[in-house]
Structure 1
C-alpha cells in the first residue's frame, strides 16, 4: 500500500477507527516519550514493566463493567504504586522484591477477573497485544485530556524529578520530599502506560515508554533536547508502525515496537557522538601514527 492510499484510508468515513488509532498512538507516544526520559535517566525500566502489569486488574474490571479502561487502569496502577512505595520503606525487603510481589500479583488478579467475562480469550488477547479497532470516541478525549494533565505535571515537577534522579541524597539535603516525588513519578508512569495499552497492548507497552527515550539518549547529552526528541521518535515510529501494520495486515502493537527498535538500532550505530561508527572513528584518530625509521 502506498502512502497516498494510506492517507485516503485515514479520511475514509467507513474506516473511522483508523484515524482514531493513529491519534491514540501518537498521543500515547508523546506522553510516554516525555515520562520515559525519567525512567531511562533513573534506570527504572523494571518499574515500567511492573506498572504495565499492575494496571491490568483495573483494565479487566473496567472491561467487565463496561466502564472507562483509562480510569480503571489508572486507579489500579496508582493504588499498586502507593502500596509498593509504602512497603518499600521497610528496608528489610528491597524495593525490587516488593515490586515483584505486588505487580505480578496484580497481573494475576487481572487474569482471574477477565476470565469471568464472556469472550475471555479474545478480550485477553486485545489487552495483551492491543487492538486498533477497539478505541471508542470517549477514550480518545480521555487520553487527550489525561495527556495534557500528565505533561502539565511534568512541567511543574521537572526540576525536582531531575534532582532526585541524579542524586537522591542531595535532594534530601536541599529539602525535597523524595518519597512524595517517587509517588508522583510512579503515578505519571502508570497513567502514561494506561493510555497506551489499547493501541500497543499490555505486554509491549514498555517499549513505548523506554525505547524512544533510550534512542534520544544516544543522540544527545542534554536532557531538554532528549525530552523533545523522545516523543518525536515515538510519534514517528508509531505512525510508521501503524502504516506498515495496515498495509501488510500485521499486528499493530508488534509492528510499532519493531519500528521503535529499528530507530534505536539506527541511533546506536549512526548517532553523531555516541554511535558505534563515531566511536570507532575517534578510536582510529586517537591511535598514534607509526613513523618509518
Structure 2
C-alpha cells in the first residue's frame, strides 16, 4: 500500500488533495445543474473568459484569482447582453466571445518573460502549488455554492422544466438563471488552480455524468458527483506522482475516464437485469 500512501506524505500533495477535493465539491454541486440545464458550452466560455484577467494579474503581479474572477464576471455579463440583444445565435455569440477572450489572454501573457511557464499554468492549472490561502478561498467558495444551491433549489427546478409555472409560483426564473450563471462562474474560477481554464469543464461535467445512472434525485446526484470528483482527484494525483504526468490534466482525464466507466457499468447492469432503468 506504499504506492497509495507515500505520495501524500508530502505536504504539497496533501494540500493538492484537499484543494482538489474542495474543487470537486463545488463542481459536483454546480456541475449537476450544468448537465441538467445543458450549460456545458457556457461553462467552457466562462473558462476562456477568465483568461485575460488571469493573464493580466500574472504579468503585473496581482492576485490571480481576483483577476480571473473580474474577467469571468465580465464574460458572463457579455454573454447575457448578447443573449438579449445580439442578432447572432446564442452558441455562435459565445463561440466568438470565448475565442476572442482566449486570444486576448495569450496576447497579454506573451509579454511576460516566463511566457511558456505562465501560459501552461493558466491553461492547465497547478494543483500542486495550492497553499493554505488557496484552501481557505476554496472552502469559502464551496460553502457559498452549497448554500446558494440549497436556498434556490425550488427555483432552479421550476425554471429548468417550465419558466411560466415558475413565474406563476413567484419563483422568479430570471433570477434563478442569473444565480445559476453566477454559480457556474464561481465553480470555474474556484477550480482554476486545480485544473486550469481549459480542463475545468471536465471536472465540472464528468462527475455529474458519472453519477447520473446511479441516482434518481438531484440532491443524490450532487452527492454522488462529489464522490466521483474526489475519486478523480485521488486517482489523478496518484498517476501524476507515479507516472510523472501533469497533475491537473491527470485529474481531468481521470474524471472523464470515471464517467465512461460508470456509463459502461450501468449499461452492463441494465443488460444483465432486464427492466432496470437505464
TM over 0.5: yes
CA contact (8 A) 1:38 1:165 kept: no
2:71 corresponds in structure 1 to: 76
1:97 corresponds in structure 2 to: 92
**Which stretches in structure 1 are left out of the alignment for 5+ residues?**
286-293
1:220 corresponds in structure 2 to: 215
Q: Distance in 1 between matches of 2:33 and 2:275?
A: 34
Per mean C-alpha deviation after superposition, the further-off stretch among 80-89 and 128-137 is 128-137
Provide, for residues 167-194 of structure 1, a one-character-per-residue CA deviation record: whole Å limited to 9, x for no partner. Answer: 2232233333333322211111111111
- For residue 137 of structure 1, report the CA deviation from its aligned partner: 3.2
CA gap of 1:103–1:134, structure 2 versus 1, over 3 A, is same
Provide, for residues 143-190 of structure 1, a one-character-per-residue CA deviation record: whole Å limited to 9, x for no partner. Answer: 222221222211211221121112223223333333332221111111
How many equivalent residue pairs? 276
Q: Distance in 2 between matches of 1:119 and 1:42?
A: 39
1:1-293 to structure 2, matched below 5 A, reads 3-4=1-2, 6-12=4-10, 16-90=11-85, 92-270=87-265, 275-281=266-272
Per mean C-alpha deviation after superposition, the further-off stretch among 35-44 and 93-102 is 93-102
**Structure with the higher fraction of residues in helix conformation:** 2
Per mean C-alpha deviation after superposition, the further-off stretch among 134-143 and 201-210 is 134-143
CA gap of 1:4–1:42, structure 2 versus 1, over 3 A, is same
Q: Distance in 2 between matches of 1:100 and 1:178?
A: 25
Q: Distance in 2 between matches of 1:76 and 1:227?
A: 28
RMSD of Structure 2 on Structure 1 (CA): 2.1
Q: Distance in 2 between matches of 1:148 and 1:79?
A: 23
Provide, for residues 10-69 of structure 1, a one-character-per-residue CA deviation record: whole Å limited to 9, x for no partner. Answer: 334xxx322221111111011101100000001111111111111111211221232222
- For residue 6 of structure 1, report the CA deviation from its aligned partner: 4.8
CA gap of 1:144–1:284, structure 2 versus 1, over 3 A, is closer
Q: Distance in 2 between matches of 1:281 and 1:120?
A: 53
Instruction: Give the number of the structure whose alpha-carbon radius of gyration is greater.
Output: 1
- List structure 1 segments (4+ residues) > 4 angstroms apart after TM superposition: 282-285
**Which stretches in structure 2 are left out of the alignment for 5+ residues?**
none
Q: Distance in 1 between matches of 2:273 and 2:213?
A: 16
- For residue 279 of structure 1, report the CA deviation from its aligned partner: 3.4
TM-score normalised by length of structure 2: 0.91
Per mean C-alpha deviation after superposition, the further-off stretch among 253-262 and 198-207 is 253-262
- For residue 283 of structure 1, report the CA deviation from its aligned partner: 5.5
